[in-house]
Amino acid sequence: GAGVSQSPRYKVTKRGQDVALRCDPISGHVSLYWYRQALGQGPEFLTYFNYEAQQDKSGLPNDRFSAERPEGSISTLTIQRTEQRDSAMYRCASSLGRGSPLHFGNGTRLTVT
Amino acid sequence: DQQVKQNSPSLSVQEGRISILNCDYTNSMFDYFLWYKKYPAEGPTFLISISSIKDKNEDGRFTVFLNKSAKHLSLHIVPSQPGDSAVYFCAARADNYGQNFVFGPGTRLSVLP
């Protein structure tokens, strides 16, 4: 079956622009996570959803970052007024729920110039 | 303050020998641990997990050991193969803290033919 799909694979944007990153989880997976990964580091938690409910957004760096999953499937991570420090690999993962491992997509590489 | 530490950034092992990757954690509430493998340009792939009620879990060539008193876990790969060359991430979750997984910074394993 299909894995976690993220789009776009690469995004280059100018400072100050808004970006929207999309994640299509594995079908039937209840939980959806967003992580950010800097070069040479492990994934850093941003937020997660169970179905359409955002359960924890404590990892979002500031209020320029938001995420939604309106129908409990596809999710969008939006970054408003991007800054150069937002440049990173953004990874989405999904799981069957509590007690199940995360399955990651290939990520979106965001570069803010 | 890193809650999950992988103190060896890299490790080289001869093909056929044992690879031992180590992970230490500071949060005594962590109760579920996972190992991920990551190839370049791909997302992390789930490898093996262990619950805090166990001290060992085995899957083929991969065995994870958990020492709760020392807050330490390790991944053993026997025998190591060149295809095992990748970055390995340790991750942990505290059940009563929700479903947020905390990742270590990773260890790059090189298996030499």
- pLDDT, position A97: 86
- pLDDT, position A44: 95
- pLDDT, position B55: 95
B103–A91 CB contact, under 8 Å: no
Rounded to whole angstroms, how far apart are CA atoms B82 and A107? 25
Q: What is the pLDDT of residues A21-48, one digit of tens each?
A: 999 999 999 999 999 999 889 999 999 9
Assess whether pLDDT exceeds 90 at residue B99. Answer: no
Residues in chain A with pLDDT < 70?
Answer: 1
A43–B41 CB contact, under 8 Å: no
Range B66-75 average pLDDT: 97
A43–B34 CB contact, under 8 Å: no
Rounded to whole angstroms, how far apart are CA atoms B37 and A79? 28
A103 interfaces chain B, CB cutoff of 8 Å: yes
Assess whether pLDDT exceeds 80 at residue B97. Answer: no
**What is the average pLDDT score of chain B?**
94
Nearest CA in chain B to A36: B103
Q: Strand ranges (DSSP E) for A51-107? A: 53-56, 65-68, 75-79, 88-95, 103-104
Q: What is the pLDDT of residues B51-61, one digit of tens each?
A: 999 999 999 99
